[in-house]
């Protein structure tokens, strides 16, 4: 029996496959015949993953162990309707943690308070999430997985670099308007991550920014954008979108779609283009 303890790539592949299927950690754990705490450890590369356990997880996910061992093949496919947002189906513990972290901050939130908010015993919370850090990681993984899927799907709709850039900015703004709690945590709690999670999350955030930057630079190369130095504008565009959870209200005078389209137009204008 081969033991794959602490393999970050394999852990990420299991997590990505679960999130791509829209399955909660608790539901997959039950289907695979393991505890949610064990699965949390597997997905964060803290718990060993034997061949037998990997096979059980693969079967529960409707895939194969070989596919999970190849992260590039295990990545979730892009969403076809990146403008449509279904309500999130978070497990009670994670949902409670998200609410409390948004309200009080990660450092000030205790596992006992999360248990009370979720209507569970403290032991019940630790059964599903052995460490408070696991909850922060789970929230950020949901955020980054969905962001990458939606932005990639938006890019696929564009027929030119300028159009792809505009659609990707629209997708970024829509996510921050429709998922304000997750987006707020992603923007405000980077300081709370421990290694190795901090390095991984930073890489995922940088990769997303690079995808958007890449289209802007291509649009400059083909003459669609005329700005001399795109970096300040590109960082301003990102900041503009990530600030949405601080002020956007769904019951306000402008809808999320209205805001996202206007942000997209502004982003193109800032880079010397027109839309």
Q: What is the domain-level CATH number for residue 117?
A: 1.10.10.60
User: Distance between CA atoms of 205 and 147, rounded to whole angstroms?
Assistant: 10
Using DSSP, state whether 232 is helix, strand or coil: helix
Q: Are residues 39 and 125 in the same domain?
A: no
**Token pair 């601080």 in the structure block, residue:** 246
Per-residue model confidence (pLDDT) at position 6: 59
Per-residue model confidence (pLDDT) at position 252: 92
Asked whether residue 164 is assigned to any structural domain, the reply reads: yes
CATH number of the domain residue 43 falls in: 1.10.260.40
Residue 238: count other Cβ atoms within 10 Å of its Cβ.
Answer: 18
pLDDT tens string 85-129:
999 889 999 999 999 999 999 999 999 999 999 999 999 999 889
267 CB-side CA count, 13 A: 32
Q: Are residues 42 and 63 in the same domain?
A: yes
Q: Are residues 168 and 203 in the same domain?
A: yes
pLDDT > 70: percent of the chain: 93
CATH number of the domain residue 231 falls in: 1.10.357.10
Longest dimension (CA), the chain: 60
Q: Are residues 265 and 174 in the same domain?
A: yes
pLDDT tens string 7-37:
777 888 888 888 766 677 777 888 888 887 7
Asked whether residue 79 is assigned to any structural domain, the reply reads: no
Q: Which of 125, 104, 123 is nearest to 114 (CA)?
A: 125
User: Distance between CA atoms of 86 and 98, rounded to whole angstroms?
Assistant: 17
Asked whether residue 26 is assigned to any structural domain, the reply reads: yes
Q: Are residues 227 and 103 in the same domain?
A: no
Per-residue model confidence (pLDDT) at position 22: 66
Boundaries of domain holding 112? 92-130
Per-residue model confidence (pLDDT) at position 1: 37
Asked whether residue 112 is assigned to any structural domain, the reply reads: yes
Using DSSP, state whether 3 is helix, strand or coil: strand
Instruction: Tell if the pTM clears 0.85, that is, is over it.
Output: no
Q: Are residues 47 and 97 in the same domain?
A: no
Structural domains of the chain, count = 3
Q: Are residues 152 and 176 in the same domain?
A: yes
């Amino acid at each position: 029996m081969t033991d794959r303890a602490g393999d970050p790539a394999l852990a990420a592949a299991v997590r990505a496959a679960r999130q791509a299927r829209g399955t909660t950690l608790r539901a997959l754990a039950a289907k695979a015949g393991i505890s949610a705490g064990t699965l949390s450890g597997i997905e964060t590369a803290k718990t060993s993953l034997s061949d037998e356990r990997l096979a059980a997880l693969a079967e529960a996910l409707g895939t194969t162990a070989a596919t999970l061992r190849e992260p590039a093949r295990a990545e979730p496919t892009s969403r076809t309707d990146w403008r449509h947002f279904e309500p999130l189906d978070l497990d009670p513990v994670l949902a409670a943690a998200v609410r409390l972290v948004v309200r009080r901050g990660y450092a000030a939130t205790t596992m006992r308070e999360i248990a009370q908010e979720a209507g569970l015993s403290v032991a019940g919370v630790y059964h599903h999430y052995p460490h408070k850090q696991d909850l922060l990681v789970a929230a950020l993984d949901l955020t980054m997985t969905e962001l990458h899927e939606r932005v990639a799907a938006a890019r696929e709709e564009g027929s030119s670099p300028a159009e792809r850039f505009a659609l990707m900015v629209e997708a970024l703004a829509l996510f921050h308007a429709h998922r304000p709690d997750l987006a707020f945590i992603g923007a405000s709690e980077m300081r709370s991550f421990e290694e190795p999670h901090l390095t991984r999350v930073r890489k995922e955030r940088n990769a997303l920014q690079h995808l958007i930057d890449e289209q802007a630079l291509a649009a400059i190369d083909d003459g669609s954008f005329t700005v001399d130095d795109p970096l300040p504008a590109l960082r301003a565009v990102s900041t503009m979108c990530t600030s949405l959870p601080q002020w956007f209200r769904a019951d306000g005078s402008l809808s999320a779609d209205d805001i996202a389209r206007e942000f997209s137009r502004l982003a193109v204008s800032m880079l010397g283009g027109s839309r």
